[in-house]
Structure 1
Amino acid sequence: MQPRLDPEGLFDLRYAAFLGTVSHLRIKLHRYCARMTGSALDGEDIMQEALFEAYRKIERLDDAQALRPWLFRIAHNRCIDFIRNRQARQRAEAGFASDDIVLPVEPAGPGAGRAIERLVVHLPPKERACVLLKDVFDHSLEEIAELVGSTSGGVKSALNRGRAKLAALPAQPGAAPAHDPELARLLGRYVELFNKRDWDGVRALTSADARLRVSDCYNGLLSGSPYFIEYERSELPWRMRPGVIEGEIVLVLDRRHSEEWLPAYLVRIHADGGVIDRIADYYACPWILEMVFADVGRSASPP
């Protein structure tokens, strides 16, 4: 049986088994994609696409030891496509002077990785990738050169430029959520109905061809999924509320532990014309919240 060209509907058992074989790499892959794109949620979406691409091409991999660099290369290419489509290159480069003269900068010391990886989004894509792969993920120059399509010398130059730019960056203020009163109203209504378990009311907020992605489980039409039925059947104590992550309004699923409600995972809603047309549920991706907590500190109660 040949794998589908796109994961549509419930994922088959072979794909689920493949996801199990790469589970040890997924946190690092997500971290890389999230830092390349500047979004933990976009990073997860791109990683999901990269994993399915790898699944479709797995027979081309002769050496099991090459799995990690191969997956990173696929994820990297997906990230570059995403950045180009978003025209992030122009925005990232606009605030910097010419690269004609850049003094070498020594690698960051131990413990600086988190600070570096939060700021690399301000670098052009090649420098961003080189700094991440070397200073955060500790890849060799040769590995990075193969991944980004360069030479060891080219990687060294990109590292010097990227490190110099990061050292010159001013303090970065936190991103404020975009003000969209129509979306806020729609999400507020969605949360209200969801917490009331009014599934017919929730469905009425969605378009007839709304899409649903549930990580590691389903990708297809919302109408063809058991999504709300699964929530209806759930006996776990949960509640939904609006939240903000990286300047984006999202929905947070809290679960009660003893007497305390704690965030468990995120749901991303997209609307068009006042109607929900896409839902992404990240219940199987605990690393997203772990990244958010690590970035802002648990005292901030994100998102």
Structure 2
Amino acid sequence: MSADTRPAEDLAPTRLDDIGEPEFSGLAERHRRELHVHCYRMLGSFEDAEDTVQETFLRAWRRRETFEGRSTFRAWLYRIATNACLDLLAKCRPQPATGGEVPWLQPYPDRLLDELSADDADEPEAVAVARETIELAYLVAVQHLAPRPRAVLILRDVLGWPAKEVAAFLGDSVNSVNSALQRARAGLREHLPAERQDWTGDEEDAATRDLVRRFTEASVATDIPALTAMLRDDVRFAMPPTQGLTVGRDTVVAGWIEDGYEGMKGLRPVPTAVNHQPAVAYYLWQEQEGAYLPLTIDVLRITGGAITEITTFDSDQFPHLGLPARLAADGTERE
């Protein structure tokens, strides 16, 4: 939905320099979740997105006299957020990702994404695009683009901003924006899965749920043959922030065996969902603690009844995903 078609409640006063901080914060907070998702697409990191949204609100408050009411308050915030992302990228990541891996990649919990889905419930096309462009495969591909073409792609193709507005956002000409968009689309195609259905994944259905269930059971049992049978030949495996992307079923399985996965006992799974993809969090029994403690979380991409991608994140991601800090011996959540 473009800025010109937002509901009236998204509009701020024509000037902001005469309102107090509480009122300003109330206006800004309405847009926190969508700005957070926007920054997350730009940066690939949940934590960096949180910091950037805070920076966006700080900059907006300090520069509130620059809002003149010619656009919506929402569009003004997006402009500030986009430039805050570009500033962070220039400072911390002067080069885009290479080699198919994104060490700074972090998952985004569905429980927070659902806040946006509820807002767009009457716009199925917008929801479909949002789902496709929040999956890890898309996020990884976007992180391989240079920052400004990345911003143009997200603003134009994901958010639907007109080229003229994007040019104003970035201080560029319309021709420059259109050229950057074409380069970004070409670069995106190079890093997305070869077929579009591989990118979007299967719809959530009984077969998909059954495959996730069988994967979970085999993982807890450390049943390598059963796990192998569920992987597609060209499956991809990554463990951000660890460097390296493993491609191919035999290579992936060989790595698991080499790492001693078959000998790991005492796992307890907790099913969840992140980035609109099925995921399983694992806890490992720790005798000295008398509890199961966080270990890793596997995020799955499933296509045509087979697992085509596994992205494994460390336990440090559990807190922002809303997962329990520990489980009791009976598997229930424990403080």
TM-score when scaled to structure 2? 0.44
